[in-house]
Amino acid sequence: MKDDWRSAGGAVVCIGETMAALAPAPSASLESADDLRVSVAGAESNVAMYLADLGIPVSWLSAVGDDALGRRVLAEVGAAGVDVSGVRCDPERPTGLLVKEPSGSRTRVHYYRGNSAASAMGPDVLDDAKLRSASVVHLTGVTPALSPSCRKLVTTALTVPAGERPYAISFDVNHRPALWPPGTAATVLRDLADRADITFVGLDEARDLWDADLEPADVRRLLPHPCLLVVKDGGHAAIAFSDEGTWTVPALGTDVVEPVGAGDAFAAGVLTGLLRGEGMERALRLGHITASSALKVTADHGPLPDSARIERLLDLPTHEWAAGAGQLAC
């Protein structure tokens, strides 16, 4: 990994599965709804779309089926400004599907992605020429849960020594319990997360995976090797650890419509801040601003505030952000 990856043009490559998504209206029950809204959903393409919104050149690598849902996925992700030219079209396997089941403040997700086109991805995805000009390659813990070949893809990417690749690797733990056989996720995800250059993990998922009593500093002791570790403490704050110090930035107060996709938006905001050469506090603020946009919509990808408002929020003195974070998202 080059030391100057932040100033190397800012190109990002995101790798992982995106599915078609079906969901009733936020106040409707899946059992009784007459209509379901079709959208697209995938952690890595969510990150890619928000990066594109923020002006970062980004490509998404994946596979979809040669079917109507696959074409819809490609069209929507591409329309967001993401380069989808490296996505493979599989003539024999289908595009994955998920169904959202709203329930109060939580949303249960049902996956129908067994033997999907993306589950057949393997380490050869890393041969794509786009990686040679990337500053960052973004992966998540969803991909290694999909199949042995997908796990090999992520493991191979994270095994390449930093000095032998031109890009930094960003990894979001993104634990999806429904995708893992019981008792397998904790060890695999800890090993992968500790190999990345930049790692994102929610405090809640760290507690679910590794120890119910963990605090952010304990997570850093569990994952000592990333150059940057960002621990997301829900709607409270984000805490970043690096060799240069520790930063804590409160979250924005937001009326939550649906939480799905907010972590991906947060990662995109932080990566954008880093690629622009912003300080860590501003990068974390941008993560919160971007996450707030995702929380306000039922889709995984929501509209950002205009650039002028984003800049005003980023420029607030630290004490004003901390004191008024609950009202800043209005």
In a domain, 14, yes or no: yes
How far apart, in whole angstroms, are the C-alpha atoms of residue 188 and residue 154? Answer: 11
Indicate which CATH number applies to the domain containing 162.
3.40.1190.20
The pairing of beta strand 106-112 with beta strand 168-172: unpaired
Structural domain including 63 reads 5-324
More confident residue, 153 or 6: 153
Mean pLDDT of the 225-238 span:
93
Q: Determine the residue type at 104.
A: G
Residues 6 or more apart whose CB falls under 8 angstroms from that of 227 comprise 168, 197, 198, 242, 243
Residue 81 tokens read as: 């400004």
The 3-state DSSP class for residue 1 equals coil
* Least-confidence region, from 3-17, 231-245, 299-313: 3-17
Judged on CB neighbours under 10 Å (0-12, 13-18, 19+), 152 is middle
pLDDT of residue 252: 78
pLDDT value at 38 more than 80? yes
What three-state secondary structure class fits 34?
coil
Mean pLDDT on 69-95: 97
Q: What is the pTM assigned to this prediction?
A: 0.92
pLDDT band at 104 (very low <50, low <70, confident <90, very high): low
C-alpha separations of 103 from 27, 31, 58 in Å: 9, 11, 34
Note whether residue 286 is domain-resident.
yes
| Active-site annotation holds for 204 | no
The answer, yes or no, to whether residue 258 has pLDDT greater than 60, is no
Q: Please give the residue that has the higher pLDDT: either 149 or 306.
A: 149
Judged against a pLDDT cut of 90, whether residue 261 lies above it is answered with no
pLDDT at 293 over 80: no
Active-site annotation holder among 218, 264, 300, 306:
264
Strands 37-41 and 19-23: antiparallel
- The residue among 24 and 225 whose pLDDT is bigger is 225
Percentage of the chain beyond pLDDT 90 is: 68
Q: Average per-residue pLDDT in the chain?
A: 89
Query: Phi/psi at 254 (nearest 5 deg)?
Result: -140, 140
Domain assignment present for 122: yes
Residue at 175 is within a domain: yes
Q: Which pLDDT score, from 0 to 100, does residue 29 have?
A: 85
pLDDT score, position 330: 42
330 domain-assigned = no
CB 13 within 8 A of CB 137: yes
Query: Sorting pLDDT into bands at 50, 70 and 90, what band is 19?
Result: very high
Non-local CB neighbours of 72 within 8 Å, separated by 6+ positions: 20, 38, 40
Instruction: Please state the domain count of the chain.
Output: 1
Residue 80, exposed/middle/buried by CB under 10 A (0-12, 13-18, 19+)?
A: buried
Query: Is residue 89 in a domain?
Result: yes
Q: What is the pLDDT of residue 2?
A: 44
- The answer to whether the CB of 143 falls within 8 A of the CB of 132 is no
- Say whether pLDDT at 48 is over 50: yes
Q: Are 266 and 200 in contact (CB under 8 A)?
A: yes
Label residue 105 by pLDDT band (50, 70, 90): low
- Of the CA atoms within 13 Å of residue 327, those in its CB half-sphere come to 3
Tell me the mean pLDDT in the region 250-256: 72
Average pLDDT over residues 238-252: 93
Q: What is the per-residue pLDDT for 260? A: 62
**pLDDT-derived band of residue 316, with 50, 70 and 90 as boundaries?**
confident
232 in a structural domain: yes
Tell me the pLDDT band of 312, cut-offs 50, 70 and 90. confident
Structure letter (DSSP) for residue 124: G
Structure confidence at residue 212 as a pLDDT band (50, 70, 90): very high
pLDDT score, position 235: 77
What is the pLDDT, as a whole number, of residue 84?
Answer: 98
Average of per-residue pLDDT across 206-214: 96
Residue 185 included in any domain:
yes
- Classify residue 161 as left (phi > 0), alpha (psi -120 to 50) or beta: beta
Cα–Cα distance measured from residue 123 to residue 134, given in angstroms and rounded to the nearest whole number = 17
For residue 1, is pLDDT > 50? no
